[in-house]
Amino acid sequence: MYRLLIILGLLIVLYFLVRSAIRELREKRGQDRTVTDKNLMVEDPVCHMYVPRGSAVTASVEGQTYYFCSRDCEQIFRQQRSSRQP
Protein backbone atom coordinates (compact mmCIF):
# COMPACT_ATOMS: atom_id res chain seq x y z
CA MET A 1 0.00 0.00 0.00
CA TYR A 2 2.83 2.41 0.86
CA ARG A 3 4.58 1.58 -2.39
CA LEU A 4 1.50 2.63 -4.32
CA LEU A 5 1.32 5.99 -2.47
CA ILE A 6 5.04 6.61 -3.02
CA ILE A 7 4.77 5.80 -6.73
CA LEU A 8 1.69 8.01 -7.06
CA GLY A 9 3.48 10.87 -5.29
CA LEU A 10 6.54 10.52 -7.54
CA LEU A 11 4.35 10.50 -10.65
CA ILE A 12 2.65 13.72 -9.53
CA VAL A 13 6.01 15.39 -8.89
CA LEU A 14 7.29 14.19 -12.28
CA TYR A 15 4.16 15.57 -13.98
CA PHE A 16 4.70 19.05 -12.49
CA LEU A 17 8.40 19.03 -13.36
CA VAL A 18 7.73 18.12 -16.99
CA ARG A 19 4.94 20.71 -17.24
CA SER A 20 7.23 23.39 -15.84
CA ALA A 21 10.03 22.47 -18.25
CA ILE A 22 7.68 22.65 -21.24
CA ARG A 23 6.45 26.10 -20.18
CA GLU A 24 10.02 27.36 -19.86
CA LEU A 25 10.91 26.05 -23.32
CA ARG A 26 7.90 27.77 -24.87
CA GLU A 27 8.73 31.07 -23.18
CA LYS A 28 12.37 30.79 -24.17
CA ARG A 29 11.47 30.20 -27.82
CA GLY A 30 9.35 33.36 -27.85
CA GLN A 31 12.14 35.41 -26.28
CA ASP A 32 14.75 34.06 -28.68
CA ARG A 33 12.75 35.25 -31.66
CA THR A 34 12.54 38.82 -30.42
CA VAL A 35 16.20 38.91 -29.43
CA THR A 36 17.20 37.45 -32.77
CA ASP A 37 15.13 40.00 -34.67
CA LYS A 38 16.69 42.90 -32.79
CA ASN A 39 20.21 41.54 -33.16
CA LEU A 40 19.85 40.72 -36.85
CA MET A 41 22.55 42.58 -38.76
CA VAL A 42 21.35 44.80 -41.60
CA GLU A 43 23.42 46.61 -44.21
CA ASP A 44 23.38 50.38 -44.59
CA PRO A 45 22.70 51.09 -48.31
CA VAL A 46 24.94 54.18 -48.30
CA CYS A 47 28.16 53.21 -46.53
CA HIS A 48 27.57 49.41 -46.59
CA MET A 49 28.25 49.12 -42.87
CA TYR A 50 26.43 46.39 -40.93
CA VAL A 51 24.47 47.44 -37.84
CA PRO A 52 22.07 45.57 -35.51
CA ARG A 53 18.47 46.11 -36.60
CA GLY A 54 17.47 47.14 -33.07
CA SER A 55 19.87 50.11 -33.01
CA ALA A 56 19.69 51.12 -36.68
CA VAL A 57 18.06 54.32 -37.89
CA THR A 58 15.01 53.37 -39.94
CA ALA A 59 13.34 55.23 -42.75
CA SER A 60 10.37 54.32 -44.90
CA VAL A 61 10.83 55.43 -48.50
CA GLU A 62 8.09 54.67 -51.03
CA GLY A 63 6.70 51.92 -48.80
CA GLN A 64 10.02 50.16 -48.29
CA THR A 65 11.91 50.21 -44.98
CA TYR A 66 15.62 51.01 -45.06
CA TYR A 67 18.10 50.71 -42.19
CA PHE A 68 21.00 53.12 -41.68
CA CYS A 69 23.96 53.38 -39.33
CA SER A 70 23.34 57.11 -38.71
CA ARG A 71 21.07 60.03 -39.56
CA ASP A 72 23.76 61.36 -41.91
CA CYS A 73 23.56 58.23 -44.06
CA GLU A 74 19.77 58.51 -44.07
CA GLN A 75 19.97 62.12 -45.33
CA ILE A 76 22.52 61.19 -48.01
CA PHE A 77 20.25 58.35 -49.14
CA ARG A 78 17.22 60.64 -49.37
CA GLN A 79 19.24 63.23 -51.34
CA GLN A 80 20.46 60.55 -53.76
CA ARG A 81 16.90 59.28 -54.24
CA SER A 82 15.51 62.75 -54.85
CA SER A 83 18.24 63.62 -57.37
CA ARG A 84 17.52 60.43 -59.35
CA GLN A 85 13.80 61.08 -59.69
CA PRO A 86 12.74 63.25 -62.68
How many Cβ atoms sit within 10 Å of the Cβ of residue 31? 10
Residues 23 and 50 in one domain: no
* Total count of domains within the chain: 2
Whether 46 and 85 map to the same domain: the answer is: yes
Q: Is residue 65 within 8 Å of residue 53, measured between CB atoms?
A: no
* Shared domain check, 80 and 46: yes
Confirm whether pTM is higher than 0.95.
no
Residue pLDDT tens, the chain, 86 long: 889 999 999 999 999 999 999 998 888 776 656 556 778 899 999 999 999 998 999 998 888 999 999 999 999 999 988 887 66
Verify that 29 and 47 share a domain, yes or no.
no
Based on the domain organization, do 47 and 83 belong to the same domain? yes
Q: Does residue 65 share a domain with residue 86?
A: yes
Q: What are phi and psi of 82, to 5 degrees?
A: -70, -30
Same domain, 59 and 34: no
Answer whether 68's CB lies under 8 Å from 59's CB. yes
pLDDT at site 62: 84
48 shares a domain with 86 = yes
Residue span of the structural domain in which 8 resides: 1-39
